[in-house]
Amino acid sequence: MPNSASPATAPKRRPIVPVAIAVVVIALLGFFGYRAMTPAGTVPAATFTLLSGEKVSTGDLKGKVYLINFWATSCATCVKEMPDMIRTYQQFKDKGLDFVAVAMNYDPPMYVANYAKTRALPFKVAMDSDGSAAKAFGNVQLTPTTFVVDKNGKILKRYVGEPEWDALHKLLDGALASAA
C-alpha cells in the first residue's frame, strides 16, 4: 500500500513572499544603518595599500580634491575608461588633483601590478586585498565605481560606470578652484 500522508499530516510549505520581504527589510536596515553611521556625503575612513606597500588613508588626503576609482583588470568598462582616467589626472594634477585607483579584492595582484606597469599608470594604484575599502565606501561591488571627493572630505559625486567626461571635468574645475 503506497505511503500517502493525509492533508492534515502533510508537511506545510511556507510561503516565499514573507521570507523575501524579510530579506529586503534586513537589507534596507543594513543600508540605512550604514548611512546613519557615516554623515551623508562624507568620505568614509579607509586605508589603501599601494602596490609599493605604502599606505594612504582618506585622512591623509584631506585638504585635497581626489578621485577614488574602484576597478578590476577583468572589467571591460574599467579597461576602456582607464586612458580617459589617465588624461583626466594629467589634465588636473598640477591644479592639485590626487587619484587612487583601487583594484578589487578578487583581482590577482600580479595582474594589477602588470597592468599598472604596462599602462604606465601615473597615479596611486592600490590593492583592496581584504575588501575593507570597498566595504567602507558602501560595499562597492560594481566596477568601475568612482568617487569625487572635495578638499573638506565631502563626496561630491559617485559614478557607477564610466563618467560623463565633460561633466566630471567641470566638477573637478569647480572643486579645485574652491577654498578648503
CATH number at residue 143: 3.40.30.10
Q: What is the pLDDT of residue 154?
A: 97
Within a domain: 150? yes
* CA dihedral of 36, 179, 62, 135, whole degrees rounded to 10: 40
Q: What is the pLDDT of residue 31?
A: 44
Within a domain: 102? yes
Within a domain: 122? yes
Q: What is the pLDDT of residue 28?
A: 46
Please give the residue range of the domain that contains residue 98: 47-177
Q: What is the pLDDT of residue 144?
A: 98
- Per the structure, the count of domains in the chain is 1
Within a domain: 33? no
pLDDT in tens, 30-51: 444 433 334 469 999 999 999 9
Q: How far apart are CA 42 and CA 46, in angstroms?
A: 12
Within a domain: 114? yes
Give average pLDDT by consecutive 10-residue segment, the chain, 180 residues. Answer: 55 57 48 42 96 97 97 97 98 98 97 98 97 97 98 97 97 91
Within a domain: 27? no
pTM: predicted TM-score of the whole model, two decimal places: 0.78
Within a domain: 121? yes
Q: What is the pLDDT of residue 39?
A: 46
Q: What is the pLDDT of residue 9?
A: 59
Within a domain: 21? no
Q: What is the pLDDT of residue 35?
A: 37
Q: What is the pLDDT of residue 151?
A: 96
